[in-house]
Amino acid sequence: MSEAYERLSLSERDTAALGARFGNFIDPAVCVLFYGELGAGKTVFIRGICEALGIESVIVRSPSFTLVNEYKGIYPVAHADLYRLEGDANAVKSLSLNEYADEGYVLLVEWAENGDFDMENILKIKIETGSDNKHMRKFTFSASGERAKSALTEFAKQGKNNE
C-alpha cells in the first residue's frame, strides 16, 4: 500500500465535491473500495465520482438490493453495495466483481469489508464520522498497484495545490 492521504469534509456538499475531484483521476480497471459506517457518505462521494465521469448524479443510488448498478459515462462504472452480504462470501464471489475491472469498468464498492478483492489496482477510502460535528467526515485514502498509486498521487498533489 502507498502512503495514506487524508482530507476532511465539513458537509455533504463538500463530500460530493471531493468525490468529483477524486473522479477526475480515476481510470478503468481501478477498483475503489469504500469503508465506513451507515450514513458516513459513501454514496454521496460516489455520486461525485460519477459526475466527474459524465454520469448524472440523480441516477446514482446505492444498490443495496440490486447489489450492482452499472452506469454509462466517460468510462463504464460498476457500483456495488455489499452491505446485505455480510458473512456470505459465496454470494459476494458470485457477483464476479473482478470481471468488471477486467472489462475496463471503474469498480466502486461500498461495504468492501464484506468482500475479498485480489486485484492489481486498488484504491481504499475509509470514511470516519466526526464525534463533535455530525457533518464532518475524515477521508483516508490509500492505494496499491501502479495505476491506483499514480491516481492517488495526482489527486493528493492537486489537493495540496488547492489548499
pLDDT at 62 (0 to 100): 83
What are the residue ranges spanned by the domains of the chain? 5-161
* 13 in Cβ contact with 21 (< 8 Å): no
pTM beyond 0.85: the answer is yes
Question: 46 to each of 23, 61, 88, how far by Cα in Å?
Answer: 9, 9, 24
4 pLDDT higher than 70: yes
| Total residue length of the chain | 163
Rounded to an integer, the average pLDDT of 90-110 is 90
Nearest C-alpha neighbor of 141 from the set 133, 132, 153: 153
The domain covering 5-161 belongs, at the CATH homologous superfamily level, to: P-loop containing nucleotide triphosphate hydrolases (3.40.50.300)
> What are 20-40's pLDDT values in tens digits?
999 999 988 789 999 999 989
